[in-house]
Amino acid sequence: MARIQVLELPSDVVGEAVHTPFVIVVDQVEVEARVESVDEQLIHEIREPINADAIKAASGAVGVIVHTGTLDVA
């Protein structure tokens, strides 16, 4: 099952306004492998199992990292 973590980046301070950018890390993503035939849709499904752009837009994150392995965010 996929995990979701938040990696905070150094804060931006402009006057009295403080903004803390962050990256969303989704790891342990399971990719369903099919060996029927290699076509463009299958390649897209393997590379983009999660719509990282939609997550980024909806959350306000500066980036999204999606990985099949385990990533530990310190």
22 φ, ψ to 5°?
Answer: -145, 160
Q: How many domains, in total, are found in the chain? A: 1
pTM above 0.85, yes or no: no
What pLDDT is attached to residue 22? Answer: 96
Do 9 and 23 meet the contact criterion of CB atoms below 8 Å apart? yes
Nearest residue to 29 via CA among 4, 54, 55, 6 = 4
Extract the residue ranges of the chain whose pLDDT is less than 50.
35, 46
The verdict on residue 73 lying in a domain is no
Does residue 19 lie in a domain region? yes
Position 71 in a domain: no
Residue 72 lies in a domain: no
Q: Note down the domain range covering 28.
A: 3-66
